[in-house]
Amino acid sequence: MRNMKNRVMKTTSILAWALMSCSVALAQQQKQPQVFKVIPEFPKEQDTVQLIYDARNTVLKDAEDISAQLTGYTDFKWTTTDLKFTKNDSVWTAKYILPAHLGLMNLVFKSGTLVDKGGEQTYSYILSANDKRQMSGGMLGWGMLRAPHIVAGVPYVVDSTSYKTDEILLMWVKYELQYHPENRFRVLYAAASALKHMNTPESLAKLDKELNTLEQIPDIREEDLLEIYRVYKNVLKESTKAEEIRQKIVAQFPNGQYVKDQQRLADFNLIQKAKTDDERLKAATDFIDKHPYQEAEVAFNEANRISYISAYWIISVYTSMKKDLANYSKYMSKIAPYEALSNVIYRSLDVPYISQKSMGPVEILPYARVIMERLNYYKDNFQGDKYATLYYSSAPLFAKILVDNKLYDEAFVYAAAAQSTASYKNADLNDTYVRVLEGQGKAKELQMALEKSYAMNQSSTYMLELMKKSYSLRHKSDKGYDQYLAGLKNADKGKELKEKVQKLLINKDIADFELLDQYGKKVRLSAQKGKIVVLDFWASWCAPCKGAFPGMKLAVDHFKNDPNVVFYFINTQERKSDMKDYVTNYMKENNYPFTVLLDADSKASKAAGVGPIPHKMVVGPNGKLRFSEVGYMGSTSELADEIIEMVNILKAGK
């Protein structure tokens, strides 16, 4: 805060006395390297500035990556922006475009669980206007920032050691008015909060006199009356007087913001009250039509739980279910706020295309294009990590939809963007990326992607088949293929897998069961004693269960000649009464050489302690449960290696 305080002292001697108490702290601070600074030192609104953070004498001195949460006081509203810092020599830097009307900014630096708030001095900065005065709201924001315990709604972002008293808050209110007397009503809530917090006869009398004086101003504006209303309602909690002011606002401003806010709340509540899908969709579209999203209304929306995110996801889901592309496009092409996109992408694209498979690639493409265009608009026109984060996290889905439509060049843009952050650590993305490169005919890049994916143990079945085919074409046979694969494996990844599996080793009892397989043969678990038994609990409706089958097939094939290792795939938690025909046909159609046990009433799985599926268990030769793991992370090769490692540990007698 040193730069801000120096500027205040230079600007006016009126403030000098108030800052004398800080002189000792400032002198001590000046002896140390300046931790936070802004270049240029006196920027103007909408300038691009360099934010400099010298972490060498902070808790983040050894951090490998640093980000910051920038809290701004912009046009008398609190805003938040996430920034990523880059290390340059011994300091960390980030570029930031100062928004219009930004009066104050405060930074909190982070790395993992470590946080640096700047202690008593804080990392805050008051901005100057073009006329060299402090920006409107800057000094008020600085006063409130250190009094979140006094003024409701102020974010708790500075260290508690920097908190100030109600007298100090009133002092900064006074400074704000000395620079900007036009802000008399805008400082009212903070001043009233401080006076009420003092709670002396003198402070309360002063507040009462000020409110009466302000209320009598001729031609008072609606926003000014609203500030008086807020004080009576939220600070003084005088309901009778607050209601009197409210009625005055409604009578004098029938088309004003207060009436609009109340109508917006009533229209949003109609969505909540809707009883059918059609009623809900109509209420949501009516709400958006009547009340387009406005940043200026965010505070009221949040206070009254008005959620544009909910309205948009309702519209996106119901219009896509109805195959109503026209209305989907009408609303999703202008979706706001930005945060609503995440829900819409998941509900209207990911679920129907990936999870439910209720929409095919051709059918989903036009819906995806609407969202891609809107997402790109935000990414290209707004700064901050949150805009880029959703783009990169959604890019794999867009790439898959595009590649499934054979639009390889378009898909490459998204697949490459996603891969730049994933670094071949995601098997599903790797599969999409490989298909893109294959479609583009980029043989060299394709081979490299296949090998990098395999080295990270994140390969799909398709990729493994493609690798073998490519190897055979290059070498005119598959001789030496296993050695080739072994040479690609990342030693560190292999070590990680072994350590992970070793930690999963247990030694527990497991309930015995007797079930029929798909051929009508009885299988009893206790009869397998002396063998290593791999159990895979799955259901026909469980996409991750079936997604794991290619990896399980690799493991089954690996031990196919070992009579002391057996695999049973236990079909459980089914919604159909007779699964025998389904199971037989599904295994045949997909060429899975699996023995499936039919747990129709789910008794065996419940007795074994199975809840969520997929759930894989490995029983040792002693009949004890040695491994138990839930879920599937998506890598065929990693799953196979994990099961193989589990079996090998037990074969070694551990």
pLDDT digits (tens, 9 = 90+) for 359-415: 999 999 999 999 999 999 998 888 677 788 889 999 999 999 999 999 999 999 999
Burial class (CB in 10 A: 0-12, 13-18, 19+), 535: buried
Share of the chain above pLDDT 70, in %: 94
653 within 8 A of 626, measured Cβ to Cβ: no
Q: What is the pLDDT of residue 620?
A: 94
Supply φ then ψ for residue 226, to 5 degrees.
-65, -35
Long-range contacts of 496-505 (CB under 8 A, 24+ apart): 497/457, 497/638, 497/641, 497/642, 497/645, 498/645, 500/642, 501/627, 501/642, 501/645, 501/646, 501/649, 502/649, 504/627, 504/628, 504/629, 504/646, 505/626, 505/627, 505/649, 505/654
Which one, of 608, 461, 639, 585, lies nearest residue 535 by Cα? 608
Handedness of CA 52, 57, 61, 67 (dihedral sign): negative
478 within 8 A of 471, measured Cβ to Cβ: yes
Do the strands 565-571 and 532-538 form a parallel or antiparallel pair, or are they unpaired? parallel
* CATH numeric code, 497-653: 3.40.30.10
Domain 36-183 matches domain 497-653 at the CATH topology level? no
What's the rounded Cα separation, in Å, for the pair 238 and 216?
Answer: 19
Q: Collapse the DSSP code of 565 into the 3-class scheme (helix H, G, I; strand E, B; otherwise coil) and give the result.
A: strand
Q: Collapse the DSSP code of 238 into the 3-class scheme (helix H, G, I; strand E, B; otherwise coil) and give the result.
A: coil
The first and second tokens of residue 142, run together, are 């600085």
Neighbours of 202 (CB within 10 A): 9
Residues 6 or more apart in contact with residue 400 via CB below 8 angstroms: 354, 411, 428, 432
Q: What is the pLDDT of residue 483?
A: 85
* Position 524 pLDDT exceeds 90: yes
Average per-residue pLDDT for the chain: 90
Tens of pLDDT, residues 115-171: 999 999 999 999 988 777 789 999 999 999 999 999 999 999 999 999 999 999 999
Ranges of H-type helices in 441-566: 443-455, 461-475, 481-488, 491-504, 543-547, 549-558
Neighbours of 319 (CB within 10 A): 23
pLDDT band at 536 (very low <50, low <70, confident <90, very high): very high
What's the rounded Cα separation, in Å, for the pair 379 and 450?
Answer: 30
Neighbours of 622 (CB within 10 A): 10
Which one, of 404, 312, 413, 415, lies nearest residue 357 by Cα? 404
Helix or strand run (H / E) with residue 31: helix 23-31
Handedness of CA 177, 180, 186, 190 (dihedral sign): negative
The first and second tokens of residue 547, run together, are 């997604």
Residues 6 or more apart in contact with residue 514 via CB below 8 angstroms: 522, 523, 524, 525
What's the rounded Cα separation, in Å, for the pair 454 and 493?
Answer: 10
The first and second tokens of residue 342, run together, are 């995440």
The first and second tokens of residue 94, run together, are 């980030």
Which one, of 630, 623, 594, lies nearest residue 609 by Cα? 630
Determine the residue type at 408. Y
What's the rounded Cα separation, in Å, for the pair 86 and 428?
Answer: 30
Query: What's the DSSP call for residue 29?
Result: H
The first and second tokens of residue 494, run together, are 């292999």
Domain covering 36-183: architecture: Sandwich (2.60)
pLDDT band at 41 (very low <50, low <70, confident <90, very high): confident
Do the strands 77-88 and 114-116 form a parallel or antiparallel pair, or are they unpaired? unpaired
Tens of pLDDT, residues 479-505: 888 888 878 877 777 788 888 888 999
pLDDT band at 33 (very low <50, low <70, confident <90, very high): low
* Residue with tokens 């974010």, as numbered in its chain: 155
Determine the residue type at 45. E
Q: Collapse the DSSP code of 282 into the 3-class scheme (helix H, G, I; strand E, B; otherwise coil) and give the result.
A: helix
Q: Collapse the DSSP code of 150 into the 3-class scheme (helix H, G, I; strand E, B; otherwise coil) and give the result.
A: coil
pLDDT band at 172 (very low <50, low <70, confident <90, very high): very high
Q: What is the pLDDT of residue 17?
A: 28
- Give me the residue spans of the domains in the chain: 36-183, 193-254, 255-386, 497-653
